[in-house]
Chains A and B, each alone.
Chain A
Amino acid sequence: MQTINMRQMKKNQSGTIKAISASGELGRRIRDMGLVPGTEIRIMGRAPLYDPVALRTIGFTLTLRNKEADYIQVEVEA
């Protein structure tokens, strides 16, 4: 197990959210979507220009820009 930045995750890679360092509006919006420590996620793919990223979590798909994904640390299989 190792903890990496969400930006570094590859397509179809899964992991569990470890920490979210965003505060303010960004932090709140991330949490509103159910991205809290302990939530499992899987990268579904990236847009044609490699940004934003689409990910699957608790039953739905959502998108984030890479610079927003930078605030999210994910624990993945080494």
Chain B
Amino acid sequence: MNATIALAGNPNSGKTTLFNALTGARQHVGNYPGVTVEKKEGSYRIEGLNMNVVDLPGTYSLTAYSLEEVVARDFLVQEKPQTVVNIVDASNLERNLYLTIQFLELGVPVCIALNMMDIAEKRGIEIDIKKLSALLGVPVVPTVARNGTGKQELMAEAAEIVLKQFKMSPLEISYGDDIDNALNEMAVIIRAGRFMTDTYPDQWIALKYLENDEQIRSLGQKQNPGLSKKLKKIVDRVSAHISRTLNTYPEAVIADHRYGYIKSLIRQGVIHYRQDQSRLHISDKIDKIVTNRLAGPLIMIAVIFGLYQFSFTYSEVPIGWLEAFFGWLGGITDTYLPDGLIKSLIISGIIGGVGGVLGFVPLIMFMFLGIAMLEDSGYLARVAFMLDRVFRLFGLHGSSVMSFIISGGIAGGCAVPGVMATRTLKSPKERLATLLTAPFMNCGAKLPVFALLVAAFFAEKEAMMMFIITMISWGGALLVAKLLRTTIIKGESTPFIMELPPYRLPTFKGLAIHTWERTWQYIKKAGTVILGISIMLWAMMTFPGLPESQKQLYEQQRQMLLSGTGSTVIGEIRAAGEYSELSEAAKDVKDRLTGIDAGEAEAALKNSVAGRFGTTLENVTQLAGFDWRTNMALVGGFAAKEVVVSTLGTAYSLGEVDPEETRLLSDKLASAPGWSPLTALSLIIFTIFYAPCFVTVVCIAREAGSWKWGVFSMVFNTVLAFLLATAVYQIGSVLI
């Protein structure tokens, strides 16, 4: 027999830890239909029963305010899981039961996992489990999810509810005379009209009307406008009365009574305290230092810097392996495939593109391992707490800082994990503004571009320039965030009512699963969308190629050179390996041959779709001081920012330029016509702000839940970058 079990509970109640303990590696991550909320499923077997365990998003309540709450509620009502396992933090019983009461009001079959029993015990909280179970009328099983204690007993109870097809009648508590009378009156109307009663209990519908629940009200409006209006009239009457007599709202009265009900349960001897509850916990003592006015910010800087060092240092080695592997793969292809389009497609388009993307994998793994440690330990909430005041000025949230730093807030990050890191942000508007502005930071791939330009034009002030570039990207990101939050993503900031969870040592299993999930999602993307875009970019820079007549021209040049060369020299060149020493004469001929090849490559690039595009755009981009070469390099930079350097190399007939070795190119630029420090500055500004690389765009679209935002980030950023670069170039031209 099969059954669906939902895991539900407050954030930080150990829900995910329990889910991991139950399902282990047998997990599957998807999304709830139409929204970006993650849906995790796994399986658990006990004798005679195959349980599909669904981990619902953590919520404090079952209202319809946040997406997570709507998703959790809809799942319970529509999918009708046979049992809801409600994880309740035993060390924090009162608040956790608030959600439990709402499950009981909804009338779903509940089984309580009274989790973190070990912590409750340490804090001297004794809970009479039998009494709690009897008072609530549902089974209560003590658990410690971290070490798996009680999970078998818990699932046995859950299975019993399934097998006995246990039905719960909705809990009806008193919300005070005013509300109770209105509820009764409304329930009669609802029952008589069979108003949504197939889906929801009648009194619950009435309760939600009183609570101003937008989702239920609009559903009701659709189903029976007349009846819905009648209910609203009753609500208006009661609201007016409560406002007059108590100066409050029905919603608030209902919540007060729920808490009153919980307090009365607890007072019946459910909890017994063995020690003074006002004494400081270990967490409070840690917080005294960690969020201290002076020490707090210093520790934060150290932790963030440490995360950075950890991720970038340790991922270097495996990234090297991957690069070596793809280099080897490219080498093999180069040796065994005949020259031509197919070879170029496989080497530049497929291996170059996908290899470049997979090259990020170790970095993403380490970065997420680091973030998962900070998040699971509870430190991330403290960072948000300390920085909220600053980020709020720009319409962001304290947690935005993580995403900015990872994206390159300290030069050398990467926007891909940066954008993915916004998942720790729970406020939708702040989150969107963060993930749209994080790519302005200076990721590791932009650095070679800056290094090239700074070396060519600002050689004496390198450190100063890099510092200015970092400041410009921070300032730009924050101001653009402010701009977005006052225009297209405007609206009140989401309340900063956030729990500071007690510090906890992360579990190895939790970290491993968390890290692997993120990494795997990224790898899957690399294999699909990113492969397609990479091939497209390759095609743009390859086709239509040079016409036959021109190709022959270059071939003739080669022939001419070779026919004027003695056969011994030709023989020497043919026989020489890559690193062999050549005689003066042979070296000269070889250099000239390479020069002809590079010239041909430049001509072919200029004639390609991307090259023509760059040439067409010259009329406009002149305003910012960019010629066709720069334009095309920037188009190439959409694949990955460091491609700007290698494309410029090809466009200046230098052949392939290694982004790590740019001396030759920077000398060339410094003396090239049309280039000046002002052009370089304009290009630096443009590079900071223009469209993120396509891997980032794919991630933005995914995280924002719509391709609309992916497209927005490309168009908006490029327009913004162009305006800024033009302003710099034009104003600079006047001043100089």
Looking at the assembled complex, report how far the CB atom of A52 sits from the nearest CB atom of chain B, in whole angstroms. 6
Residues 57-99 of B contacting A (Cβ, < 8 Å): 60-61, 63, 65, 91-95, 98
Question: How far is A62 from B278 in the complex, measured between Cα atoms in Å?
Answer: 15
B499:A52 contact, CB within 8 angstroms: no
B542 interfacial by beta-carbon distance below 8 Å:
no
Task: Report the Cα distance A34→B381, complex, angstroms.
Answer: 19
Contact status A54-B500, CB under 8 Å: yes
Q: Kindly state whether residue B256 has any CB partner on chain A within 8 Å.
A: yes
Taking a contact as CB atoms under 8 Å apart, the answer to whether B496 and A68 are in contact is yes
Q: B496 near A34 (CB under 8 angstroms)?
A: no
Q: How far is the CA of A54 from the CA of B283 in the complex (A)?
A: 13
- Among B256, B284, B390, B497, the residue within 8 A (CB) of A36 is B256
A48 to B278, CA, bound (A): 24
Once A34-B259, A59-B91, A63-B497 are accepted as A-B contacts, the answer to whether A20 and B252 lie under 8 Å apart by CB is yes
Which partner residue on chain B sits nearest A55 by CB separation?
A: B500
Complex Cα distance, B95 from A30, in Å, reads 12
Q: Is the CB of A33 within 8 A of B497?
A: yes
Residues of A within 8 A of B734 (CB): none
> In the complex the two chains form, what is the Cα distance from A26 to B502 in whole Å?
24
Q: Do the beta carbons of B94 and A59 come within 8 Å of each other?
A: yes
**Whole-angstrom CA separation of A76 from B63 in the bound complex:** 32
Residues of chain A from 26 to 52 with CB closer than 8 A to chain B in the complex: 26-34, 36-39, 42, 44-45, 47-52
Which residues of the partner chain A approach B389 to less than 8 Å between Cβ atoms? 47, 49-52
Q: Is the CB of B500 within 8 A of A61?
A: yes
B720 to chain A, nearest CB (A): 30
Given A34-B98, A36-B255, A45-B287, A63-B61 contact (CB < 8 Å): no
Distance, CA A14 to CA B278, complexed state (A):
10
* Closest chain B CB from A6 CB (angstroms): 12
Contact of B252 with A31 in the complex, beta carbons under 8 Å: yes
**A62, B283: Cα distance in complex, Å:** 13
Contact at A25–B388, with CB atoms within 8 Å?
no
CB–CB A62/B251 < 8 A: no
8 A Cβ contacts from B666-693 to A? none
User: How distant is B98 from chain A, measured CB to nearest CB, in Å?
Assistant: 7
Contact pattern, B 490-520, Cβ under 8 Å of A = 1, otherwise 0: 0000011111111000000000000000000
Interface pair A60/B392, CB less than 8 Å apart? no
Tell me whether A26 and B495 are in contact (CB under 8 A).
yes
B254-291 with Cβ < 8 A to chain A: 255-256, 259, 277-278, 283-284, 287-288, 291
A32's partner among B61, B287, B291 (CB-CB below 8 A) is: B61
Count of inter-chain pairs, beta carbons less than 8 A? 126
Interface residues on B, range: 35 or more
Contact B95 A60 (CB under 8 A): yes
The yes or no answer to B244 lying at the interface (CB within 8 A) is no
Closest Cβ of chain B to A21, distance in Å, is: 8
Please tell me if the beta carbons of A25 and B495 are within 8 angstroms of each other in the complex.
yes
The reply to whether the CB of A2 lies closer than 8 angstroms to some CB of chain B is no
**Inter-subunit contact B256/A37 (CB<8 Å):** yes
Task: State which of B283, B297, B381, B497 has its C-beta within 8 Å of the C-beta of A48.
Answer: B297
Contact B60 A32 (CB under 8 A): yes
Among residues of A, the one whose C-beta sits closest to the C-beta of B499 is A62
- CB within 8 A of B291: which of A34, A37, A38, A47? A47
Docked CA distance A64–B294 (Å): 21
Do the beta carbons of B277 and A61 come within 8 Å of each other?
Answer: no
For residue B102, give the distance in angstroms from its CB to the closest CB of chain A. 10
A54 to B502, CA, bound (A): 13
- How long is the Cα–Cα vector from A42 to B279 in the complex, in angstroms? 12
Are B60 and A44 closer than 8 Å at their CB atoms?
no
A40: nearest chain-B partner, CB-CB: B278
Do B496 and A28 touch (CB < 8 A)?
no
A63 with B287: CB separation less than 8 A: no
Chain A hits for B251, CB < 8 A: 23, 27-28, 31
CB distance from A23 to the nearest CB of B (A): 6
Nearest CB in chain A to that of B64: its residue? A28
Complex contacts, B255 vs chain A, CB 8 Å: 28, 31-32, 36
Q: Which of B60, B385, B497 contacts A68 (CB 8 A)?
A: B497
Contact partner, B92, options A58, A63, A68, Cβ 8 Å: A58
A65: which B residues are within 8 A, CB to CB?
388, 392, 495-496
**A26: nearest residue on chain B (CB-CB)?**
B495
Given contacts A25-B65, A36-B255, A44-B287, contact A58 B278 (CB under 8 A): no
Shortest distance from the beta carbon of B390 to any chain A beta carbon, whole Å: 7
> Do B65 and A47 touch across chains, with their CB atoms under 8 A apart?
no
- CB-CB under 8 A for A63 and B63, given A28-B251, A36-B256: no
Interchain CA distance A65-B388 in the complex, whole Å: 9
A24 CA to B624 CA, complexed, in Å? 49
Interchain nearest-CB distance for B63 vs A (Å) = 6
List the B side residues contacting A27 at CB < 8 Å: 249, 251-252
Residues of A within 8 A of B476 (CB): none
A33:B500 contact, CB within 8 angstroms: no
Contact with A along B348-392 (1 / 0, CB 8 A): 000000000000000000000000000000000100011111101
Q: Which residues of A have CB within 8 Å of B252?
A: 20, 23, 27, 31, 36
Chain B residues with Cβ under 8 A from A14's Cβ? 278
Alpha-carbon distance between A61 and B93 when the two chains are bound, in angstroms: 14
Please measure, in the bound complex, the distance between the C-alpha atom of A38 and the C-alpha atom of B389, giving whole angstroms. Answer: 29
Measured CA separation A27–B249 after assembly (Å): 10
Taking the complex as formed, is B545 at the interface, i.e. its CB lies under 8 A from any CB of chain A? no
A5-31 CB mask vs B (1 if < 8 Å, else 0) is 000000000100000100101111111
Does the CB pair B500–A62 fall under 8 Å? yes
Bound-state CA distance A10–B499 (Å) is 20
User: B249, A29: Cβ atoms under 8 Å?
Assistant: no
The one of A32, A42, A44 that contacts B98, using a Cβ cutoff of 8 Å: A32
B293 near A: Cβ within 8 Å?
yes
Q: Does B296 contact A (CB under 8 A)?
A: yes
- Min C-beta distance of B611 to chain A, whole Å: 52
**Residues of the B chain whose Cβ atoms lie less than 8 Å from the Cβ of A52:** 385, 388-389, 496
Q: Tell me, in angstroms, the Cα distance from A33 to B255 when the chains sit together.
A: 11
A47 CA / B389 CA spacing, docked (Å): 8
Sample (26) of A-B pairs whose CB atoms are under 8 Å apart: A23-B251, A23-B252, A27-B249, A27-B251, A28-B61, A28-B65, A32-B63, A34-B95, A34-B259, A36-B255, A38-B259, A47-B291, A47-B387, A48-B291, A48-B293, A48-B297, A51-B389, A52-B388, A60-B92, A61-B284, A61-B500, A62-B499, A62-B500, A65-B496, A68-B496, A68-B497
Interface residues of B (CB under 8 A from A): 60-61, 63, 65, 91-95, 98, 249, 251-252, 255-256, 259, 277-278, 283-284, 287-288, 291-294, 296-297, 381, 385-390, 392, 495-502
Binding site for B on A (CB under 8 A): 14, 20, 23, 25-34, 36-39, 42, 44-45, 47-52, 54, 56, 58-65, 68
Interface contacts beyond A23-B252, A33-B497, A64-B496: sample of 6 additional A-B pairs, CB < 8 Å, sorted by A: A25-B65, A28-B63, A31-B256, A44-B287, A50-B389, A56-B284
The 4 tightest CB contacts between A and B, nearest first, are A49-B389, A31-B255, A32-B60, A32-B61
